């Protein structure tokens, strides 16, 4: 065991499907990047959250935190 995990555990992890929450998070990240770049990188977290809410997303400003992207 080089990595400290069993062979079966490693292959189980490799073949695991991506969860719905991870897929949703990636879609949100892409929307945030799009809004931020379309604003010529002027919009801050509150403004981006407001734009997403207008588009129908239920999202908090903590989720939008632009310092992550």
Q: Where are the domains of the chain?
A: 22-68
* Span 12-59, pLDDT tens digits: 999 999 999 999 999 999 999 999 999 999 999 999 999 999 999 999
CA angle 27, 28, 34 (to 5 degrees): 90
CB atoms within 10 A of CB 27: 11
What is the rounded CA–CA span in Å between residue 28 and residue 24? 6
Tokens representing 66 are 């632009």
pTM of the model: 0.75
Categorize the per-residue pLDDT at 68 as very low, low, confident or very high, splitting at 50, 70 and 90: low
The pLDDT of residue 4: 87
Residue closest to 32 by CA, chosen among 65, 4, 5 = 65
Average pLDDT over residues 57-68: 84
Give the residue with greater pLDDT, 3 vs 6: 6
pLDDT at 3 over 90: no
């Amino acid at each position: 065991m080089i990595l400290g995990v069993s062979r079966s555990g490693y292959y189980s992890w490799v073949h695991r499907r991506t969860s719905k929450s991870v897929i949703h998070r990636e879609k949100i990240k892409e929307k945030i990047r799009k809004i931020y770049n379309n604003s010529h990188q002027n919009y801050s977290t509150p403004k981006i959250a407001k734009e997403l809410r207008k588009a129908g997303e239920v999202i908090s400003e903590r989720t939008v935190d632009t310092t992550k992207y």
